[in-house]
Structure 1
Amino acid sequence: MNRSVLFVLLLLLYGCAAVGPDYRPPSLQTPDAWTSAAASGQTASALVHTAWWEGFEAPLLSDLIHRAVRTNLELEQARERIAQARAAVILAGAAGVPQVNTAAAVNRSRQSSNASAAGSGYTSTLYQAGFDVGWEIDVFGGVRRSIQSADAQLEANTEGLHGAILTLLGDVAGNYIDLRINQAQLQVARHNLAAQQHVVGLTTERYQLGLTSYLDVTQAEGQQKATEALIPSFESAIKASMYRLAVLLAEPPGALVNELAADCPLPATTGLLAPGLPADLLSRRPDLRATERLLAAASADIGVATADLYPRFDLTLGLGLQADSSSSFVERASRYWSIVPGVTLPLVDGGKRRAAIDMQQAKYNELLAKYRALYNSALEDVENALTAHYAERTRHHVLDKSVEINEEAVSLALDRYRRGLTTFLDVLTAQQALYTAQSALIESKGRQLISLVVLYKALGGGWQLHRDG
């Protein structure tokens, strides 16, 4: 009967509610819609399960992204952090489980004759084997709260992997776009260099015929050299993008040079995917999801610290065999057992336990402020990206018209120069304007593409397709 009462009492104690706050996700005030005109009327959230990079119509980019997700070393580090967090969950749970140990020993000793009342020494042997069970009973929920904290930390680390995937998607796409844009700039520079070399020949011929001054020749040659000087910088930027892409794929820097060397069309400028609602960021962005999980862990840590204010109950059980001879070791009379319930009461600690609670509460408050600030920053990221994309799209349309007009101006200026109806300065000015417009058009195409990458990263889209890394 006494044992039954003890067992029921232990169950009742273990079933007590855990002290400390019960966590509830914080509620944030979210805007009803985006303010940018680029998102006007777009509320459907099709982004989460969309491989947005495929909209660039660049099969090699899609292939590089899939390879990077498989091999990237930053993702490997994030996976190992998850493994560490899983082990921490097991460690936290083990604290609430009875610890069972077994031991066996043979103790042989001789008593000194001088220490014996009978004046003679003797030799004794003790055989012993048994089990010891130690259990700290989680009456006030300190262990349960520590398990909650470890679980939340594991989930936060998992979101860290998702965030690393999102960053990787943006890095691969961004560097691929930079590569193709610089290749296009190099192609335009070489095309203009060839055209300017033709003009140098034309001015030289006219100078030799006495139809123009040597100034025209030097101006044409100067413009040619200025264009020629741009080529090494484009070649260097191309190599840098190739090297970076290789490293993102966990390869040596030069591993992708041959694969990426061939000029490819510029990635397509896709239509804008529906960005959804501002509130969607809370469930889509890994950094927000991770911070919310850290908040849950911090709340549980308050409970862990609070439980230290209360008594600790423990129970130690012993069961085994003891005998002074091996022949009698397994006999019924050799059995022994012990039950040792215990309690530890905190009395005076100089305010240490209260300070620990205050520290954990302050940590929670800090994370809550961080969560709110992070959400506002996320909103800002999306608004800026939407605005930048909309503005660059408008700029690109104007620059496209500018190139058409300047191409016609160069043709007219050269024709008039050949017929002696204008000075070479008009040709020079027209060529410079055309090259500036062509270069700006390519640069605008790149900025438009990059603005899409930045936008999709800010919206938190794409990692869901690779959530397992």
Structure 2
Amino acid sequence: MRRLTLIATAAILASGCTMAPKYERPAAPVTANFPTGGVYATQPGAAGAHSAEGVAAADIGWRDFFVDARLQQLIDMALKNNRDLRVAMLNVQAAQAQYRIVRSELFPTLGAQAGQNKARTPRDLSFFNQTISNQYSVGLNASWEIDLFGRVQSLKDQALAKYFATAYARKAAEISLVSQVATQYLQVLQADDLLAVTRQTLKSASDSYGIVKLQFDNGTASDLDLSQAQTVMESAAANLQSQERARAQAVNALVLLLGEPMPADLPGGLPLGGQNLLTDIPAGLPSDLLLRRPDIMEAEQNLLAANANIGAARAAFFPSISLTGNFGTLSPTLGGLFKAGSAAWGFAPTITLPIFEGGQNLANLDLAHIQKKIEVAQYEKAIQSAFRDVADGLAARGTYDQQIAALERDTAAQQRRLDLSTLRYRQGVDSYLGVLTAQQDLYSVQQTLITARTQRLSNLVTLYQALGGGWIERTGDQPRAVDAASASDARVSAG
């Protein structure tokens, strides 16, 4: 018993020690600051717009970033019902269960058993002609692998890191879902604006066609003028059907993200030009992304798991020590199990030392080192991708305002041109070709302007996501732990 106590004490003192290499976070393979100058030099302020007031994206709630009440309700619905997000949370629960399975190997196992063993021995091999023997047993069995070299501890650390990696993946999925719903909602609003412009163009073209047709019937317009007027009208009619289809498909994509049919009692929404998203969220430094981007933290946890796996591979070269024991009672009769003198016990320590494994342990160690190098590359790639996401967003944010302003001036000029061309045609100064060209050019620039406005808003949403925004609901809320179940998760679990 004294020796057993000493062994157990040594095992407890050795627990928590592993042969994994000391972890050192790789240096970020990006510059210390985001690009400046050129397209980055002109960044929009908050003059006349909704201001972030210097608050970082990760600390801005999505209800404060999106001011459209209709969009806010759609995002809330998606967070409760989206199936991809539900799978991401279930993956977290599965990783947590796997961690508990691995962790349980650090503790002794204890079980109870009761049995009967009945056997017949040939008469010429038996003693005193007792050919039938009975043995009844009741007792406890215990076993324990003493983790002196940290193999099980390393596997536990690996499982824990995988669990956190899955939790960060869930956080990234939730942030991405907020961005996807908002972007798809903007696509629906874009389709509405395009339809409005197309209907207006179709009405104008139909009116012009009616006038030209009347002039043709009276002999004051040529067949060419009539054909040209019909071309604009039919083109707008075809575009109308195409855009109706695009809008229906955009709504279907939005419903898929929501995870349930679009309700009829949604609050009124804002038009595309009234979204008023935050335009001046500070970018901070690239090093801030290490703590704000869940995909980077997921990659680092996978790297930590690979680092812990090296410890398990190293420990496989050393002996493993197991303690197995049992205590109970034995008796040839059922009634004698608990009588005096029936106690029985056994203790069997086992030491297993690998001698020849055909190179398996060495290959496992090499594989563990290679997997760590892979995870280092994946971690560095995640940082580089995050840096590019933010840099792209800043480049776009610094140019869209000027682009849209130029398109607005171009639209006004094209409208003036159409008015003048129509007047000159009606006065007989120019042919209808001038009206046709002006009308087509105006329609084209109007569509380009709507697309640019949508892209500007979509870029602000993407930049908000790229900087780590979308995890909390309201500014000032305490962020949830990455592995914490939300109200919607609890409802799913209860179901």
TM-score w.r.t. the length of structure 2 is 0.87
For these two proteins, the number of residue pairs brought into alignment is: 463
Letter in 1 for 2:364: A
Find the counterpart in structure 1 of residue 178 from structure 2: 169
The 1:412–1:55 alpha-carbon spacing in structure 2 relative to 1, beyond 3 Å, is farther
Which stretch shifts more, 9-18 or 176-185? 9-18
Question: Counterparts of 2:418 and 2:198 in 1: how far apart (Å)?
Answer: 16
Shift of 1:263: 8.7
Asked whether the 8 Å contact 2:159–2:305 carries over to 1, the reply is yes
Which stretch shifts more, 87-96 or 42-51? 42-51
Letter in 2 for 1:71: N
Secondary structure, counterpart of 2:132 in structure 1: strand
The 1:113–1:9 alpha-carbon spacing in structure 2 relative to 1, beyond 3 Å, is closer
Find the counterpart in structure 1 of residue 139 from structure 2: 130
The 1:115–1:6 alpha-carbon spacing in structure 2 relative to 1, beyond 3 Å, is closer
Which stretch shifts more, 3-12 or 68-77? 3-12
* 1:287 maps onto 2:295 in alignment: yes
Query: Which blocks of at least 5 consecutive residues in structure 2 are unaligned?
Result: 46-51, 474-479, 487-495
Percent identity over the alignment is 29
Letter in 1 for 2:184: N
Letter in 1 for 2:143: G
Shift of 1:320: 0.3
The 1:191–1:39 alpha-carbon spacing in structure 2 relative to 1, beyond 3 Å, is closer
* 1:448 maps onto 2:446 in alignment: no
The partner residue of 2:262 within 256, 265, 275 is 256
Asked whether the 8 Å contact 1:45–1:276 carries over to 2, the reply is no
TM-score w.r.t. the length of structure 1 is 0.92
Query: Which blocks of at least 5 consecutive residues in structure 1 are unaligned?
Result: none
Letter in 2 for 1:308: A
The partner residue of 1:406 within 414, 418, 442 is 414
Note the alpha carbon deviations across 1:397-445, whole angstroms, 9 max, x for none.
1011111122222222222332333322222222122212211111111
Find the counterpart in structure 1 of residue 31 from structure 2: 31
Note the alpha carbon deviations across 1:229-287, whole angstroms, 9 max, x for none.
10111011101111111111223xxx339678999511525323222221111111121
Letter in 1 for 2:470: G
* 1:182 maps onto 2:186 in alignment: no
The 1:28–1:402 alpha-carbon spacing in structure 2 relative to 1, beyond 3 Å, is same
Question: Counterparts of 1:82 and 1:201 in 2: how far apart (Å)?
Answer: 65
Find the counterpart in structure 2 of residue 333 from structure 1: 341
The partner residue of 2:101 within 91, 98, 102 is 91
Question: Counterparts of 1:278 and 1:92 in 2: how far apart (Å)?
Answer: 36
Counterparts of 1:268-417 in structure 2 under 5 Å? 268-270=275-277, 271-417=279-425
Note the alpha carbon deviations across 1:50-91, whole angstroms, 9 max, x for none.
235754532211111111011110011111111111111111
Asked whether the 8 Å contact 2:30–2:384 carries over to 1, the reply is no
* 1:60 maps onto 2:70 in alignment: yes
Which stretch shifts more, 273-282 or 290-299? 273-282
Asked whether the 8 Å contact 2:69–2:267 carries over to 1, the reply is no
Find the counterpart in structure 2 of residue 224 from structure 1: 233
Secondary structure, counterpart of 2:256 in structure 1: helix
Letter in 2 for 1:147: K
Which stretch shifts more, 318-327 or 237-246? 318-327
Asked whether the 8 Å contact 2:43–2:397 carries over to 1, the reply is no
Counterparts of 1:205-224 in structure 2 under 5 Å? 205-224=214-233
The 1:149–1:322 alpha-carbon spacing in structure 2 relative to 1, beyond 3 Å, is same
Higher relative contact order (CA 8 A, sep 6+): 2
Shift of 1:323: 1.6
Question: Counterparts of 1:257 and 1:190 in 2: how far apart (Å)?
Answer: 27
Find the counterpart in structure 2 of residue 75 from structure 1: 85
Letter in 1 for 2:247: I
Question: Counterparts of 1:14 and 1:38 in 2: how far apart (Å)?
Answer: 62
Letter in 1 for 2:189: R
Question: Counterparts of 1:43 and 1:30 in 2: how far apart (Å)?
Answer: 27
Which stretch shifts more, 133-142 or 122-131? 122-131
Asked whether the 8 Å contact 1:43–1:277 carries over to 2, the reply is no
* 1:160 maps onto 2:169 in alignment: yes
